[in-house]
């Protein structure tokens, strides 16, 4: 199980190493998506 996690971390760090600009933009996009999803869920919970 821990080897799988380390494999993911290794792949991610390798990916960031190869393309830092793409990686950072991908990270920003995913964070934006998480934020939007959070606010939508929060809004729906208040409405329902």
- For the stretch 3-47, pLDDT in tens is 888 888 888 777 766 666 676 777 888 889 899 999 999 999 998
**CA atoms of 11 and 32, how far apart (whole Å):** 22
pTM metric for this prediction: 0.46
pLDDT of residue 2: 79
Gap between the terminal Cα atoms of the chain: 39
**CA atoms of 36 and 24, how far apart (whole Å):** 18
pLDDT of residue 41: 94
pLDDT of residue 9: 82
* Domain ranges for the chain: 2-47
């Amino acid at each position: 199980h821990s080897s799988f996690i380390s494999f993911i971390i290794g792949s991610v760090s390798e990916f960031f190493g190869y393309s830092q600009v793409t990686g950072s933009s991908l990270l920003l996009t995913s964070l934006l998506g998480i934020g939007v999803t959070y606010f939508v869920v929060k809004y729906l919970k208040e409405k329902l």
